[in-house]
Structure 1
C-alpha cells in the first residue's frame, strides 16, 4: 500500500493506534486522518486477532494487498480517501468481512465475482474510483445494508438483483456509468431511507413504484429519464427531507399542500442557479398558496424548472424589480473559472472531479463542463468566452449540476458549479443605444443649454 514504516501505540487492551505511517514519497498529513487497528482477544484459542483496519485520509499511494487474506478474523476494512490504485484482490473473499469501504481512490477493473462469497458482508462502499465492467450477478446473493458505487465507469443496466437486498437501507448510484431503467420492483426494499440514483441513460420509464418504502429521508432520482406524473405517495412521505427529481420529463399538476413537515429541500431541475446577472433569480417557483408559503418559510432550496408542471401562480416575485438592467442588444460574455477545491499533487485531493452545465438565455453553452480539463489542472485560471443576445433587458446565466462528478472530495458536499467572475462587454451598437438613452434622460432632466455627456464627467 506504499507504507514504508509503521509505528504502533497500544491504546487499550484491544486497540492499536498507528502513531506514524511513513510513505514514499512523503505526503502532507491530513488533520482528519484515521489510523486504527482493532484486535479482539475474546476468541476461544486465547489469541488476539485483528478484526478491523482503518487507514483513512493518509494518501497511501500503493495497491490493495492480497496478503490481508491471511488475517482470517478480519471483519472491517476502511481505506477511504487514499491514493490507492490497481484492482480489488480476489483473495479477500476468504475473510469474514462485514464492511468494505474503499471510497475515493484510483481503483480500476471490475468488482471480483468472488465478493459474492462474503456470507456476512453488509456494507460495500466503492464510490469515486475508476471501476468498470458490469456488476457481477454474484452480488445478488449478498445481504447488503449499504451499497454505494457513485462516480465510476460501470456499464450495463442497473441489475434486477438489487431487489434481493431486502435489508438495504442506503443505495447510491450517482453517475455510476450504469444505464436504466430503475428496476420496477424496487419498492420491495422497504427498509430504504436513502435512495440516490442519477445520470442514467436509456429509454423513458415511468416513476418507480415506491409505495412500500415508508422511511425514505432522501430521495434523489436526477436525470433518470423518468416521465409522467409524480405519484401522490411522494407528498405523503412523512420522513422525507430531501427530494430531487431534476432533469426528468415530469408532467401533471403539483399539489397545493403536502403532508410532510420534514421536507426541507426540493429540486426538480438541479442545484439552484449560481449567477443570474442583475440578481434576476428564480430560487422559488410558486405553485399554490399553501405550498408557496411553505417554500418561502421552510424550504432552503426549491426549483421546479425544466419539467412540464402546471400550477397556480400568485403575484410576480419581488426580483422583477431588477429585471430591466441591461439594454437589448448583443454582448460579449466572459466567464472566469479556477478550480480552487482540488489539488495537483499525488493525494486524494487531486481525485476530485467537478462537472456542471452552463446555460445562457436558456440555451446550452457547455455540457458537463470541467474546469480542470480546460485549465489543464487545478488552481489555474480559465476564461470561457461566448456571445449572448438580450431581448428582454435581462441576461440570464445559469449553472447546473446534473449529477456527474465527485461529491465527497476533499470533503462531503464539494461538487457542482463554481465560478470566479463574470464580465460582460456590449457591442458597439449596444453602446450607441446606451448613449442615446442616456441623452434622452438627461434632456428631460437638465435645463436647456446645460446638457452633459456620459463621458464628460459633468
Structure 2
C-alpha cells in the first residue's frame, strides 16, 4: 500500500488540475465590458436581422464569435484601450444570411467601426445616407447583395476607406466623381452592377491603388488616360468598360503590375504598345481592335496571353516549339501558326479566321458532334446512340484545343489568377440522370469558354447543353453566367443550381439553331455576377459538363391540306358566280310564274258573268 500512495497522489493532482482547467474555461472571459452605446446598437441591429437569439444577454466584446463557418459568419472584434474601462466594436462581419434584407439605421451608431463586411446576404433597397457616420471605416465589403439606387454622396466622407467591394449588386447611375476623394483606397472593385461610364479621369490621382477592378460599364466611353502612375498596382482589370482609343504612347509607370485584363473593349492601335507590361503573368486583351505584328518577345511560357478576336493582329509564332504547349489564345487573328500546328489544325483555324469554311479543305461536312467537357470519351449507345468525345486538355490561363478527328475547337480565357485548372471532377453520384459519368467532369473558366463546331453542313440543328453544379456545394455560393449560341443570347445570369433544383443534380438546355456558314459557336461567359470565392477563390464563371449537336429531323405529322392554286380559286369564284346567277334565274322564274298566275285569276274573276 505504501508504494501505491505516490501514484494515487499523482493521479489525484492530475484530475484536480484538469478540473481546474475545465472550471476556468466555463468562466466568462475577463476584460472590460462593451461600451453601452455600441452594445445597444449591435443588439438593435441583430434584432432586426433575427439574430438576437445568438447574442441575447451576452456582452458582444466578451463573446465575439457567434457563428463562424464557410457558409456563415457572425462575429465582432473589439478594441479595449488601457485605462478607458470599456471596449469599442471596431470590426463587424455578418455574411451568408439570406434572411437579412435591409440595413438598419442603428448600424451607423457603431461609429468606431474600422471594418464592415456585409457580403453574401440578401440586402436590398438603397444605401442609407447615415453611412457618413462611419468616418473611421477602412474596409467596407457589401458585394453579392441586391442593393439598388445610386451611390449616396455621403460615401465621399469616408476618407479613410482602403478597400471597397460592391460588385454583384443593382446599384445604378454614373461612376461617381467623388471616388477621387478617397485617396487612401488600395483595393476598389466595381463590376456586375448597373453603373454606367465614363470612368472619371481623376481616378488617376488614387496613387495608393494596388488592385483596381472595374467592369460591365455601359453608357459613355472611357479612355486609358484614367490610368495613373500607380507604382504599387499589381492587378488592373477594366473588362467591358467601353474603353476607346489607343494605349498611350508613353506607357504608364506600373512596375509591379502582374495582371492586366482589358477584354471586350474598343481599344485600337498597335499591339506593340503592350510591351511595357510584358513582365506580367497575365495579359488579356481579347475582343478589341488592336493591329500590327504580335511582338515575339511578349510570347513567353510564363505569361498567359489572350489576343483572340483582334482581327488585325498578325505575325508569326515560329518561336514556339511545335511540341510545347504555351498559354496563348490567338483565335480570330491573322497570326501565322503554320510552324506549330499540323495542316489539319491549320485548316480548322483558317475556317474560324474567315468565319466560314471552304469544304474542300475539310472532308465530309459533319452533321453531329458530342463532347464530354472535361472528361474522357464516353459511349451511351442505348441512351443517346452518341459517342461523347474526349475533352480533357487543361488549357491553363489562356489557350485552345483542336480536335482534328471531329472538327471541333474549345477556347478558354481565365480571368482569375487563383483559378489553377480548367478541369473539375468529382466521384459523388449525380442526381436526376442515368448518365452519371457525363456529369462528374466539367470544363470551367472565370471569364470565357467557347466551343466551335467546324465544317457543319448548313441547315437546322438541335444543341443540347448538359450541366450539373459539382463545385459550389454550399447554399451560400452562386454561379451565374451567360450563354450565347450563334451570337444570340439564350440565357442571362444562368444558375445551374436553380435550374436543376439543387447541387449535384443534372439539368439540360435544348436550343434549335440554324447554321449558315458551316460553323456553330457556343459561348459561355461570366458577366460579373455571382460569388467569387466559395468554396475557394476563383470558383465562379461558366461550367459545362457536355455538349451534343445533332441535325434536326422534321417530326412526323399528318400531311397538311394541299394549297389551292390561284386558278383553282378563280374557278371556284366562277362556279360561285354561275351558281348565284342560276339562283337568281330560278327566283325570277318563280316570281314571273306567280305574277302570271295572279293576273290569270284576276281576269277570270272580272270576266265572270253576273248572275
After superposition, residues 210-225 of structure 1 pair within 5 angstroms as 210-225=251-266
**Equivalent pair of 1:84/1:106 in contact (CA under 8 Å):** yes
After superposition, residues 211-360 of structure 1 pair within 5 angstroms as 211-234=252-275, 237-238=278-279, 240-258=280-298, 262-263=302-303, 265-269=304-308, 287-290=316-319, 292-293=320-321, 296-299=324-327, 302-307=328-333, 309-311=334-336, 313-317=338-342, 320=345, 324=363, 326-327=365-366, 329-337=457-465, 340-341=468-469, 349=477, 352-359=479-486
Alpha-carbon distance between aligned partners in 1 of 2:220 and 2:139, rounded to the nearest angstrom: 27
Match of 2:509 among 361, 382, 396: 382
Shift of 1:12: 11
Aligned twin of 1:106:
146
Match of 2:550 among 424, 437, 448: 424
Structure with max Cα Rg? 2
Alpha-carbon distance between aligned partners in 1 of 2:251 and 2:526, rounded to the nearest angstrom: 23
**Equivalent pair of 1:368/1:404 in contact (CA under 8 Å):** no
- Larger RCO: Structure 1 or Structure 2 (Cα < 8 Å, ≥ 6 residues apart)? 1
Aligned twin of 2:50:
3
1:385-426 superposed Cα distances (whole Å, 9 cap, x missing partner): 1122576xxx55342537554462866342136464323127
RMSD over equivalenced CA pairs, Å: 3.8
SS at match of 2:484: strand
Shift of 1:31: 3.8
Aligned twin of 2:600:
none
Match of 1:116 among 156, 166, 169: 156
Q: Please state which structure has a larger fraction of its residues in helix.
A: 2
Alpha-carbon distance between aligned partners in 1 of 2:177 and 2:163, rounded to the nearest angstrom: 17
For structure 2, the residue ranges without an aligned partner over 5 or more in a row are 1-47, 349-361, 367-455, 502-506, 555-611
**Equivalent pair of 1:330/1:427 in contact (CA under 8 Å):** no
**Equivalent pair of 1:335/1:419 in contact (CA under 8 Å):** no
Aligned twin of 1:187:
228
Question: CA, structure 1 residues 353+259, in 2 after alignment: closer, same or farther (shift >3 Å)?
Answer: closer
TM-score under structure 2 length normalisation: 0.56
Shift of 1:242: 1.3
Alpha-carbon distance between aligned partners in 2 of 1:312 and 1:332, rounded to the nearest angstrom: 32
Question: CA, structure 1 residues 406+253, in 2 after alignment: closer, same or farther (shift >3 Å)?
Answer: farther
Question: CA, structure 1 residues 337+260, in 2 after alignment: closer, same or farther (shift >3 Å)?
Answer: closer
1:57-87 superposed Cα distances (whole Å, 9 cap, x missing partner): 2324321122112112111001111111112
Shift of 1:325: 5.7
Aligned twin of 2:523:
399
SS at match of 1:104: coil
Aligned twin of 1:175:
216
For structure 1, the residue ranges without an aligned partner over 5 or more in a row are 21-29, 271-284, 429-458
SS at match of 2:204: helix
Aligned twin of 1:454:
none
